[in-house]
Structure 1
Amino acid sequence: MAKRTIILRLVIDNPVPDVTYSLQDRKGAPVGPVVARNEALRFDVPVQLAPGPKLSGEFVRREGPERRFVYIAIGGQAGDPASPWSRRAKIDVHDISHDLLEQAAPPAALECHLPGRARDDGPSCATIQPLDGWRVAN
């Protein structure tokens, strides 16, 4: 398998309205901030898929030799200094199955839906799991 770009689509269901969300690059900077309304938020994350399979790119962080993840920044972390929230959601991507990664060819994306609310009714944060796993989506 040659190195190629695929899209990981992160859909945040039921986000907290009027709160800013963004991707966070490897340097910790917010990228593409959007303010949540009363609908799901969608972030398309380009990643490089290399043999192994290994995921890398501007938004892919790593922990140890295997763990790869993407951050969604929230409130202050997303560049909104007036927000009462300053959180990040960590989405693991190292455990996406090899079969699904092989099916990811533009314009298709690998999509997962994420919970938008934490137990305190604020934005979900820390490591969050997809609600129904990953799937190929157009």
Structure 2
Amino acid sequence: MPDYDSARLSAIELIKNGEASCVLIKDGSVAKTYQQRGISPVIELFEKGLLSGGFVADKIIGRAAAMILVLGGAAGCYGEVISGAALDYLCDKGLQVSYGSVVERIMNRTGDGMCPMEASVRDIDDPQQALAALKNKLAELMRESR
């Protein structure tokens, strides 16, 4: 029988120790780890159909990531940092949530404004629409960085 508690604790330790930015637990073991920043790992897990029934540990969970976790059918998550809006959303949707600390909002990488991913879903309640908005924002940011 898989040891879910042990696997979740291992995933959380990987996040806390800076060894991963995002970790997926499936069937009681670490299934996937990521080092890259941002929401891309959560979107990739969704697109590969890996979120369903899984547990995700992530450095930062904002409302944008929360909506993708719900859309993908994740069973639960841990955010080292989680926004109040994400926590409320996840709890309302029935996910098991644990966290290191709660912040009012997720900031952008320079710390002088709201995270662009969060801003792109601020007025969206439907997770499918949120996914489309996030993909558009990611594409826009990729174009700007060239």
Considering Cα pairs closer than 8 Å and 6+ residues apart, tell me whether 1 or 2 has the greater RCO. 1
- TM-score w.r.t. the length of structure 2 is 0.29
Higher helix share: 2
Higher strand share: 1
- TM-score w.r.t. the length of structure 1 is 0.30
